[in-house]
Amino acid sequence: MWGPLDLDSWMAKRREDLESVIGPVERIIDEVRRDGDKALFSLTERFDKIRLESVRVDRKAIKAAYSELEPSVVSALKEAKSRIERFHRLQLENVSWMKEVEPGIKLGVKVTPLQRVGCYVPGGRASYPSTALMCVVPAKVAGVGEVVCCTPPPINPLTLVAFDIAGADEVYSLGGVQAIAAMALGTKSVRKVQKIVGPGNVYVTAAKMLLRKEAEIDFPAGPSEIVIVADSTANPKFIAADILAQAEHDPRSPCALITTSEGLARKVGASLSKGLKVSNRQKILEGSLTNAGYLLVPNLEEAVRVSDLIAPEHLSIQCDRAVAVAAKVKNAGSIFVGHNTAVACGDYASGTNHVLPTAGYAAIYSGLDTMHFCKRSSVQSIDRKGLERIGAVIETLAKAEGLDAHARSVEVRRNEGRQ
pLDDT at residue 187 in the model? 98
Same fold, 7-15+223-366 and 36-99+115-218: yes
pLDDT at residue 291 in the model? 87
The DSSP secondary structure of 56-98, one letter per residue, reads BPPHHHHHHHGGGS-HHHHHHHHHHHHHHHHHHHHTTTT-SEE
Contact 333, 281 (CB under 8 A): no
- Alpha-carbon distance of 230 to 319, in angstroms, equals 5
Catalytic hit among 314, 354, 372, 395: 314
Contact 360, 311 (CB under 8 A): yes
The DSSP secondary structure of 242-304, one letter per residue, reads HHHHHHTT-TT--EEEEES-HHHHHHHHHHHHHHHHT-S-HHHHHHHGGGEEEEE-SSHHHHH
- Give the list of residues 6+ apart from residue 185 with CB closer than 8 angstroms, or none: 29, 32, 33, 192, 211, 214
As averages over each run of 10 residues, the pLDDT of the chain (419 residues) reads: 91 83 97 98 96 96 97 98 98 96 98 98 86 98 98 96 98 98 98 97 94 97 94 98 93 94 97 92 90 96 98 97 98 98 97 96 97 98 96 97 98 84
- Cα angle at 375 between 98 and 162, to 5 degrees? 120
With 0-12 / 13-18 / 19 or more C-beta atoms within 10 angstroms meaning exposed / middle / buried, residue 213 is exposed
Catalytic hit among 313, 354, 372, 395: 313
Strand partners, 171: 149
CATH topology for 36-99+115-218? Rossmann fold (3.40.50)
- Alpha-carbon distance of 182 to 298, in angstroms, equals 50
**What ranges do the domains of the chain cover?**
7-15+223-366, 36-99+115-218, 384-418
3-state secondary structure of 168: coil
Confirm whether 314 is a catalytic residue: yes
- Alpha-carbon distance of 67 to 307, in angstroms, equals 45
Instruction: Reply yes or no: is the peptide bond before residue 154 cis, omega within 30 of 0.
Output: yes
Exposure b/e, 291-318, CB count within 10 A at least 16 = b:
bbbbbbbeebeebbebbbebbbbbbbbb
Residues composing the chain: 419
Of the CA atoms within 13 Å of residue 313, those in its CB half-sphere come to 28
From the list 297, 302, 329, the residue with the least C-alpha distance to 316 is: 329
Class of domain 7-15+223-366: alpha beta
Confirm whether 313 is a catalytic residue: yes
Contact 318, 229 (CB under 8 A): yes
From the list 148, 123, 283, 121, the residue with the least C-alpha distance to 215 is: 148
pLDDT at residue 12 in the model? 87
Of the CA atoms within 13 Å of residue 49, those in its CB half-sphere come to 1
Strand partners, 294: 4, 257
From the list 240, 241, 249, 229, the residue with the least C-alpha distance to 358 is: 249
